Structure 1
Amino acid sequence: MTAPIHTKRLDQLDLHNTLKARAAAMQRPENHLKRLLAEPDRFEYFSANGGGLFFDYARQRLDQETVKDLVSLDGRLGLRERFARMCDGAKLNVTENRAVLHTATREFGNVSIQVDGRDVMPEIRDVREQIRIFSERIHQGELRSAGGRPFTDVVVIGIGGSYLGTEFVSTALAAFADKKIRLHYLANVDIHNFGAVARAIDPQSTLWVVISKSYTTAETSANTHLAEEFMLDNGIEPARHMVTVTAKGSPGDDPDRPVLRTFHMFDYIGGRYSVTSAVGGVPLSLYLGYDRFEAFLRGAAEMDAHARTATPEENLPLLAALISVWNTTYLGYGQQGIIPYASPLAKLAPHVQQLNMESNGKAVDTQGKMLPEPAGVVIFGEPGTNAQHSFFQLAHQGKAFPIDFIGVRQPQYTQYTVRSKGVTHHQELWANLLAQARALAEGQDNPDRARHFDGNRPSSILLLDDLGPINVGRLLAFYEARTVYEGFIWGINSFDQFGVELGKKVADSLRAQIALRNDDPDHRFAGIDPISEDYLEMLFE
């Protein structure tokens, strides 16, 4: 028999009260970060290498005893055990009775992963091979538009997890996009999104990639219908210019509605965890080439292996998750900043925002019991140095929030070495990264209170050697594993999103009323709240 999965959560442990006491002690003046940072060997003790990345958490509000207590949660809560069982196909999505196997999409070993008595790896390998062949045929000119022209534009139609991760990766790796294909995203049902895309593309050489597991998401369905009408208006047969990424048997996988190609996605991969599946694989392989997409997958796989097997003291995503929970549950920080000092990572924060907040913004545990307080943290961010001229006034003097600073040793463009004030652009960037982390931690005394900074504001630095496909894959998997570990610690299910579905149900009723008015100008709105009725009347004025 399979051993039961751990169901305990952090607040049910005796250690919970110990950590509360340690958090109270951390408020004492002697535990201000500027004093903690003066400890010998702090940088060595509070940093770790793993999975191809370097993680420095010396500027977090932690002492060695607290770190030991946090690390002990691995054994007390079976954290790495749960992660391993997730990777092996255990049904950790308990509310939907599903396995959680985004890690399988970047598995290249000769392994078998069983779900309901069936090995899922053959179909995953098949889809990867289908993506490779399809993208290469496009690049080699074997597959062309209806008019015989090479495809020059790809439009991704999809919302949420159907595009955010892909947009992060395509933005991060745009410097490697040499396939003469432009990539666009049509996510929002706002007509301005469609209008902007329509102006940017050449309809005669555009391939539309519709990404939807169920093929019933309202926004994606509306945009798909509009795209089809747009093609017909331009004399284009949609079936010759459309690809679908969807579940087997969905309306997007219907032989009676032929498309150029269909790629399958599976119910054991959630949308926000899906960028290494066909969801990201199809557009990224078209944009970057399959070889670069595979290198990205292999980087993610390396971080998966690290997250699964590294000791707690050296396990980067586990350490980051423990620190995040410490900051949120015990020190009371409700926000988390992600500030990459690398412009190509501009879309990292929006991706992690969905990944983490949709996963861990929960009020009940895996047993359906209410938590003593809701889990999760608000994620936001912007690349440095832009962020410094945007919201860092608040970061230094307003309500504090922990920050993940991300640095890159080698930029994507090395040919520009002109110096300003004695340093190159990349060196200037590093000076600012290190300065912000130091200034936030240490603060500044000044008799002029407007120029006084308390400091004691925590941050970590995550360091990448470069921004190639492998490291972008490692970075993606780091944040995925961190999110999963946070959920394990809080005792919640990080793999459902019923809060998203509630708003959709309400929208369904309002949409029905609008449709009735469209058909009958005399229709009176009824059966909805009075405020919404007033707003709908405005829509038709």
Structure 2
Amino acid sequence: MSPAGLLYPDDSSIKNLHAKLTQAAQDLNTPDHHLRKLLDRPGRFFDFSIGIDGFLMDFSRQRLDKNALALLREAQVLSSALEKFRAMTQGEIVNPTENRAALHTAARGSGTSPLLFKEIDVKQQMQQVNKKIGQFCQSVHDGKICSASGKPFTQAVVIGIGGSYLGCEFVYQALADSDRIMDLLFLPNVDIDNFARVIEAIDKETTLWIVISKSYTTTETMANLNQVSTWLKDQGIRPEDHMVTITAKGSPGDDPDTPVLESFYMFDFIGGRYSVSSAVGGLPLSLALGYDVFQRFLDGCRIMDTHVLESLPENNIALTAALISIWNTLYMGYPAQAIIPYASRLARLSPHVQQLYMESLGKSVSPEGQILSQPAGTIIFGEPGTNAQHSFFQLVHQGRAFPIDFIGVKSPGYSGLQAMSKGVSNHQELWANLLAQAGALALGRSSEDPARNFDGNRPSTIITIDNLKPENVGMLLSFYEARTVLEGFILGVNPFDQFGVELGKVMAGDIRKEMAAKNQDPSYTFACKSQTDNFYLDLLFR
């Protein structure tokens, strides 16, 4: 397969396509192509929307026409993006800088057919881990595995950072309704106040601690683990009686000399930001919501995976979303993208996709090390509607424009009594706002008063799911994963490494040594390379 990509064009075909796309963008920046005009074209909605059962993506309000969309689909062909995606799901090395496969889709694979990677049946290995998760969670729920006091566990706290908690937290909040079995809390930040909030919210005698770290060396996670262990001992509780680990086989977290209640394995071929459907999400979500709920979530992931693999390019939801993102970033020049779910239970979707996308695609070199024509990726942020409307939508409508994913849920999770206000229910009011915002951004409104004039022509996509059942949340998660991976392949970057997070860690290690020396000897004089760092350390230790 060719390594070609839009940001690393290694042949004339892609260079010519880039020129055509640039011209198409210029053509669309004319009054005749304002979204008011585009939306008036017959069949616009049907030509610019794609759906499968339970999931619809309406991109009719994107600043696209059929010519631009056809050119973008050529980019998919020239970069072999779908072929690379299929190769990824079959265990080929798609992370060349770390010589790894990327088999997060295999974590939700079903059936008995093997999936071999380095002579290991990956699917069987992960199914074994899932079986162990199911058995462990059932024993916890039945009270067979209980706390040191003999009381059943009623809460669990995840100790992990980045991909070790963000996706899991999103899914938990999306699915956690009145039927949850255990409360789930998260301790990601090394800030001691994060720890303080957690211990204020739990019952120390009935809390299970879940430590998630592949290497079991992540600095923040190990600092929080040490803090929790010290606190438990101070409370008269042995940490090993209240702790489980999710880690790589043979890591310090999988050491028989440091026993815990149980260890569950992570694998090198699943990166942290893609790990929600592995044990990283599986154990916490199964404890909190039930193993059957986790399995239904995996079913939803699998539905979207299958759609991406088997649908024609013109009907492929994730591929089309990736192409639109590339169009908006490279050719329309938008500086960011917002994700606005009109569902409070999806509040943590934006932070999860923020890490998923920006850690995957924030690159400046190709997988082979060649400098890209420009840095890849864009800024992702978001907040639930209608909260966002009263936060940053002034800029959305009259400041610098950027595209938005509006996400709507047809049926709310709450089915109890709903009051009527101005003739509509709260859920109907929510939808009225979602549709109004997308329409207002596209159409705008003319006024002789410049302060009240809205130019419109601001792009957005509306994504709808039927409800917040596990299957639909699984589809939503898998959609954003596939979209991110496909965009990386089309751009010509490796969406699976993350060396950009390393430099700060190395420098923090040097500063940490200075602090440790001062803790050991109060008379020690700081000797950082930076005078600024020495200033702040002096300030901290006064």
Q: Same fold (TM over 0.5)?
A: yes
1:261-272 to structure 2, matched below 5 A, reads 261-272=262-273
Partner of 1:163: 165
Where does residue 29 of structure 1 map in the other structure? 31
Give the Cα separation in 2 of the matches to 1:423 and 1:229: 53
Q: Which amino acid aligns with 1:518?
A: N
Check conservation: 1:359, 1:483, Cα contact below 8 A: yes
Other-structure match for 1:108: 110
Alpha-carbon distance between aligned partners in 2 of 1:185 and 1:51, rounded to the nearest angstrom: 33
Consecutive unaligned residues of structure 1, counting only runs of 5 or more, are none
2:76 alignment partner, SS class: helix
CA contact (8 A) 2:528 2:534 kept: no
Q: State the partner residue of 2:521.
A: 520
User: SS where residue 394 of structure 1 aligns?
Assistant: helix
1:52 offset after TM fit, Å? 3.6
> Are 2:5 and 1:9 equivalent residues in the alignment?
yes
SS of alignment partner, residue 264 of structure 1: strand
Partner of 1:208: 209
3-state SS in 1 of match to 2:472: helix
What code does the residue aligned with 2:363 have? K
Aligned to 1:56: 58
Separation of aligned partners in 1, 2:417 and 2:346 = 20
Q: Which residue does the alignment assign to 1:457?
A: 458
Structure 1 position 51, deviation (Å): 6.3
1:81-130 superposed Cα distances (whole Å, 9 cap, x missing partner): 11100000011001000000000000012232221232212211100000
Contact between 1:6 and 1:82, CA under 8 Å: does it hold in 2?
no
SS of 2:504's equivalent?
Answer: helix
In structure 1, the residue matched to 2:90 is 88
Contact 2:275 2:281 in 1 (8 A): yes
> Is the CA contact (8 Å cut-off) linking 1:176 and 1:288 kept in structure 2?
no
Partner SS for 2:149: coil
Q: Classify the secondary structure of the residue corresponding to 1:209.
A: strand
SS in 2 for 1:156: strand
Deviation at 1:75, TM superposition (A): 1.9
Is the partner of 2:485 in helix, strand or coil? helix
Which amino acid counterpart does residue 8 of structure 1 have in structure 2?
Answer: A
Mapping of residues 345-494 of structure 1, within 5 Å: 345-494=346-495
Instruction: Provide the C-alpha distance between the structure 2 equivalents of 1:252 and 1:113, rounded to a whole number of angstroms.
Output: 27
Q: Residue 244 of structure 1: SS of its match in structure 2?
A: strand
Distance between the aligned counterparts of 1:509 and 1:237, measured in 2?
A: 33
Instruction: Supply the distance in 1 between the matched residues of 2:287 and 2:2 (Cα, whole angstroms).
Output: 42
Number of corresponding residues: 536
Find the aligned partners of 1:475 and 1:191 in 2 and give their Cα distance. 33
3-state DSSP of counterpart to 1:175: coil
Does the aligned pair in 1 maintain the 2:98–2:497 contact within 8 Å? yes
Residues in 1 aligned to 2:138 and 2:109: alpha-carbon distance in whole angstroms: 22
Q: CA RMSD in A?
A: 0.9
CA shift for structure 1 position 177: 4.0
Shift of 1:78: 1.1
- CA–CA distance in 1 between the matches of 2:310 and 2:435? 31
Alpha-carbon distance in 1 for matches of 2:179, 2:234? 30
Residues 366-408 of structure 1, C-alpha deviation per residue, up to 9 Å, x if partnerless?
A: 1110011100010000010110000000000000010000011
- 1:224 aligns with 225
Please, which runs of 5 or more residues in structure 2 have no aligned partner? none
Structure 1 residue 74, shift from structure 2 partner: 2.6
Instruction: Specify which of 117, 132, 150 is matched with residue 119 of structure 2.
Output: 117
Residues 80, 309 of structure 1: 8 Å contact kept: no
* 1:51–1:474 CA contact under 8 A, matched in 2: no
Worse-matched range after superposition: 520-529 or 254-263 = 520-529
Q: For residues 137 and 479 of structure 1, what CA distance do their matches in structure 2 show?
A: 34
Distance 1:447 1:226 in 2: 61
Structure-2 separation of matches of 1:149 and 1:188:
29
Residues 166-205 of structure 1: CA deviation (Å, up to 9, x unaligned): 00000001115431x2111000000000000011111111
Distance 1:40 1:454, change over 3 A: same
Q: CA deviation at 1:527?
A: 3.9
| Aligned position for 2:192 | 191
Q: 1:127 — aligned with what?
A: 129
1:69 aligned to 57, 68, 71, which one?
Answer: 71
Distance in 1 of aligned mates of 2:4 and 2:118:
25
Is the partner of 1:508 in helix, strand or coil? helix
AA at the equivalent of 2:165: Y
Is the CA contact (8 Å cut-off) linking 2:105 and 2:305 kept in structure 1?
Answer: yes
Structure 2 counterpart of 1:140: 142
Alpha-carbon distance in structure 2 between the residues aligned to 1:93 and 1:365: 11
The answer on 1:504 being equivalent to 2:505 is: yes
What's the offset of the Cα at 1:275?
A: 0.6
The DSSP-based 3-state class of the residue aligned with 2:421 is coil
Give 2:235's aligned residue. 234
Which has the larger displacement, 264-273 or 67-76? 67-76
Q: CA–CA distance in 2 between the matches of 1:78 and 1:177?
A: 44
Please list, as runs of the form range in 1=range in 2, the aligned pairs for 1:215-294 lying within 5 A after superposition.
215-294=216-295
Alpha-carbon distance between aligned partners in 1 of 2:130 and 2:85, rounded to the nearest angstrom: 24
Q: Secondary structure at the match of 2:364?
A: coil
Q: Within 2, Cα distance between the matches of 1:289 and 1:474?
A: 19
Q: CA deviation at 1:518?
A: 0.2
Query: Residue type of the partner of 2:144?
Result: E
Residue from 45, 48, 71 that aligns with 1:46:
48
Cα distance between partner residues in 2 of 1:507 and 1:111: 46
More divergent stretch after superposition (302-311 vs 475-484): 302-311
Percent identity (aligned):
55
Segment of structure 1 superposing worse, 420-429 or 110-119: 110-119
One-letter code of the match for 2:92? A
CA contact (8 A) 1:50 1:315 kept: no
AA aligned to 1:388 is: Q
Distance 1:185 1:215 in 2: 17
- 1:261 partner letter: E
Structure 1 moving runs of 4+ over 4 Å: none
